[in-house]
Structure formats: C-alpha cells, structure tokens
Structure 1
Amino acid sequence: MIGAVRYACGNTLRNNAWHGGKMLCIRKQLGTSFGPVYAPVKLTFFSKDTCQLCTNAKEVLDKAMHHQHIRAKELDLELVDIMDPKNSKWFDMYCYDVPVLHIERPDENKPVKFMHYFDEGKIVEEINK
C-alpha cells in the first residue's frame, strides 16, 4: 500500500500511523541563538506482513520514537514492504533478514543498520547521535 501519513508524534495518530505505507514523523526544534537546529534523520523500516519479528520491531521502534529522552529533531520514517513487487531490490537483499531498520543522516555516507531484534535504547541512542 502506498501513501503518506503525517505523524504528529503524539498519541493522536500513534495507533494509525503504521498504515499507509509511508509515515512521516515531524519533530522540530527551531534554531535560535540559544540552541541548535538538528539535522533530519531518515528511518527506513523494511518488513513484510507475515513476519512476527517485524510486528514486534514496529512496537519497539514506535516506543523509541516516542522515548522521553529523544532529542527534538525531524524524523522521516518510510515503511518498505519487501513483498511488494516494486521493492524486489530490497526483497533480494533482506528476504531472510527482516525486520531491518536503516538510520541515515545527511552527514554520513552509509546508514546504520539494525536487524532482526530491535533494542529501544540503542535506537534512541543512534537517533540522538
């Protein structure tokens, strides 16, 4: 399923945010003379519908994105169903490895990857870097 959902990062859309194929989570801290402007972080979550590990990982990722210690920044989360024929590249790469999470920053060449079992604390730590 393709679509976009603007994700308010609050409880209002939290339960519905995983539907629609793509989710944008916007958290912003405007730059002032008193504080920094954080660079956006792109999260790409690779999964398939029949995967129980993926279901568990979604819950951990959702908790990590709402963690009280996460620094304010813009997060862009894209969900990729590797079973969709248009995602055959990702199916070939991650067929037996889902769930997979890529965390990408504009200043880094390669994404940081989490595979199989996700740890909320480690994801929060990586987002905060």
Structure 2
Amino acid sequence: PTREGALLDSYVQSLHGDAQGRLWVGTTSAGLLRYDPATDGFVRYPVGGASGLSHVSVRQMQDDGDGGLWVVTDAGLDRLDIASGRIEHASHGWAAAAGAQVRVILRDRRGALWLGSTAAIAQDH
C-alpha cells in the first residue's frame, strides 16, 4: 500500500455487500476489511488472540440478521458485532456441527443460515 487506508492485500477472496450498504472484503493475508467511503479507504479488523479473527485468510462473509457479520476463515467461523467491533469465535452449536474446516456460508430465502465444510452441511435453526 502506498497510502493510509489502502487495500492491504491484492488477493481478494470474497466481497460482501450488507443490508446497510457497507462493502466487506475478505483477503488471503490481510484478513477482513471494510470500505469506508468517508475516507475512501479500508478499515482492518484484528486477527489473532481471543479478540481477533481466528485466521488472517477470510473466505466468505454473511449478515447474521441481528447486527452482526459471520466471517468464514481458514481456521473456522467467527462473528463480528459490527456496532462494537467485538469478534467471537463460534465453536459450539450449529457451527461445530459443520466441522472445523468451514468453507462457505449462505442465507436462504427464509433467512436460515447454512454452513458448508469439508465434512458436512449444517443449518442454523
């Protein structure tokens, strides 16, 4: 990057536009980024430890329907509370049912969330 707020990785794995019109970018080595039109730059979310994303490689994102964003990384599934910036690692319930190698997430027409992994498909009830 040559300027403050520039895209930190040229290898983009996924893009997601949420219900509020925000653009989210998942990268291979810079984690999760959100485009900020006010600064014409990107905001990066932390990676690692108890309060950061579980892995730097972000495969996909999906709204959770409750003010949050599900983030699929190479190490599992995380949930970002957008208002607070808090990140939680999903290691129980329906996320655990899909297995550790979650690869995709989808919200169907009824609003249900589905996870696809290397081992299974799981639905949030």
TM-score for the superposition, normalised by structure 1: 0.28
The structure in which a higher percent of residues are helix is 1
TM-score by length of 2: 0.28
Indicate the structure whose relative CO is greater, using CA pairs within 8 Å and at least 6 residues apart: 1
